[in-house]
Amino acid sequence: MNGLDIVFHTPEIPGNTGNAIRLAAVTGAHLHLVEPLGFDLSDAKLRRAGLDYHDLAHVTIHPDLDHLWAQLGERRIIAFTTHTEDSFADVAYRPGDVLLFGRESTGLPAEVVDDAHVDLRVRIPMLPSRRSLNLANSASIAVYEAWRQNGYPGGS
């Protein structure tokens, strides 16, 4: 395990979550899904995107944010949002960090971004007039930057 946790708050698209399962499996990150999910976990698109990595990934499903916060304890929570000017690339990531992402259609709701548990709010830079990156791609960019900064522990 690389010591990072990825959180998808109420994801809607099964293929993105399948890709995140694969990301968690190949990097050793722990994937957390906060309900409600916009799909059934047996969805064929989720299974196809995750390929045969489901058994290799550590995935936890939480009924709500309060359950997630209780499970994470005193960890540093980094929320990825378009509602900040702070770049994800300026963060000194450390083992134990939690990378929090919102749903595909709306991102993280304001009440989550502003929650007392959230320590940092960052964005992934894009060209002007573009709404957002794909959720799984955003998570991949962030996880690999954090993992790189920490020397790819456990990687080969």
102: annotated binding-site residue? yes
Supply the angle between the helices 135-149 and 14-27 in degrees, to the nearest 10: 10
CA 47 from centre of chain: 18
21, 59 contact by CB (below 8 A): yes
Separation between Cα atoms, residue 111 and residue 82, nearest integer Å: 14
Annotated binding site: 102, 124, 132
Known binding-site residue numbers for S-adenosyl-L-methionine = 102, 124, 132
